[in-house]
Every structure is written in C-alpha cells, then in structure tokens.
Structure 1
Amino acid sequence: MPVLAIIETNISDPSWLEAYTEQVTPMLAEIGARYLTRTDDIELIEGDNKPQFSVVVEFPSKEVALAFYNSEEYLPYRTARLNGSSSKFLLVGVENGTE
C-alpha cells in the first residue's frame, strides 16, 4: 500500500536546501517515490504552529519509505536537514477508497 511522507519544516539555516533538493530528488525517483508538493504556500486553518515549509512525498510502501529514511545514502542529507531546521516527518497510509 502506498504511504505519504509529510514533512513540516521550519528552516533555521538554509545552507542545506540546494544540495538536498538536487541530490534527494533523484534518489526518490530511483525507488519509485515522487514529490506531490514542496511549498511554503501554507494556510493554517486549524491548530497552531504553522510550518514555514511543507513537503509531501508518495512512496510505494511503508517499507520503502523507512528503508530510504534509514539509508546510508540519505543519511548526510537527513543530518543536514535536521541540523538546519526543526521538522516533523510523518508517514501516513493511503487507502484506495472505501468499500
């Protein structure tokens, strides 16, 4: 079953962004994942603490998402993101309709 990674980020040091985007995008494509959105166009409707930036990535499965997140290849980019921002990284299952 597909899974969505929803990343809410508040960037404190933008120096990591360019390399992250350039290198992580092809990594995701190689494993069959794709960005659904990468934006700072966010309107907070409910709750508090609106993120500065939001990313949604569709992965083929939870296993693929977790393998990517924990991979040695992604580690330096994950570390840079964590050092240069405050983030929430959520995995959300995708159901194909109701029956």
Structure 2
Amino acid sequence: MPAYIIVEIEIHDHETYEGYKKLTLDTLKNYQGKFIVRGGKTETLEGEWAPERIVVLEFPTKEMAKSWWASEEYAPAKAIRQSSSATKMLLVEGM
C-alpha cells in the first residue's frame, strides 16, 4: 500500500534551505520515493490555512517512508531543513 509524507514548511532562512532542496532528491532513490508536490502554489478552499510551502512525497510503503526519514542518506539534508525552517510532517497510508 502506498504511503505519503505530507509536509508543511515555514522557512526562516531561505538561503540555507536551498541547500536542503539540492540534497534531498538523491536521498529518495534507495527508498523508491518521489515528489508528488514540491512547493507549488497553494489556494485555500476551506478554513484558515495559508502555508508557505507544502511538499508531498510518495513511497511504496509506510515502512520505506519511515526508513527514508530515519536514514543516514537523508540525515544531512534533514539537519539543514530543521535548522532553516519549522516543519509539520505527517505520514499517511494511501489506497
């Protein structure tokens, strides 16, 4: 069953965050992950929600998604993201 990581990001240091974006793509390959949404323009349809940046990643399974998130490959990029932004990250199973 596919799994998705949904991330809401508020960037505090845009210059440093660019380094995160450059590193992340290569870390997904071993986990068969891919970007579905990567910072595209958003439009609020209901409620009060105006995120600065939304990212959605797809993985074949939730186990692969969690393995990627905890991996040594992703750790340097994760450290950059955590130092340059505030994030909310959710793992959800697909259909």
Q: Same fold (TM over 0.5)?
A: yes
Provide, for residues 6-28 of structure 1, a one-character-per-residue CA deviation record: whole Å limited to 9, x for no partner: 11111111123332222210221
Q: What TM-score, normalized by structure 2, do the two folds share? A: 0.88
Per the alignment, residue 29 of structure 1 pairs with 29
Identical counterparts, % of pairs: 35
For residues 1-20 of structure 1, the aligned pairs below 5 Å read 1-20=1-20
Structure 1 stretches (4+) deviating beyond 4 angstroms? none
User: CA, structure 1 residues 83+47, in 2 after alignment: closer, same or farther (shift >3 Å)?
Assistant: farther
Provide the C-alpha distance between the structure 2 equivalents of 1:76 and 1:55, rounded to a whole number of angstroms: 18
Answer yes or no: is 1:75 the counterpart of 2:75: yes
Provide the C-alpha distance between the structure 2 equivalents of 1:6 and 1:18, rounded to a whole number of angstroms: 19
Please tell me whether the aligned partners of residues 7 and 88 of structure 1 are also in contact (alpha carbons under 8 angstroms). yes
Structure with bigger gyration radius: 1
Aligned residues: CA RMSD:
1.4
Provide the C-alpha distance between the structure 2 equivalents of 1:94 and 1:40, rounded to a whole number of angstroms: 21
SS at match of 1:10: strand
Provide the C-alpha distance between the structure 1 equivalents of 2:18 and 2:2, rounded to a whole number of angstroms: 27
User: CA, structure 1 residues 74+81, in 2 after alignment: closer, same or farther (shift >3 Å)?
Assistant: same
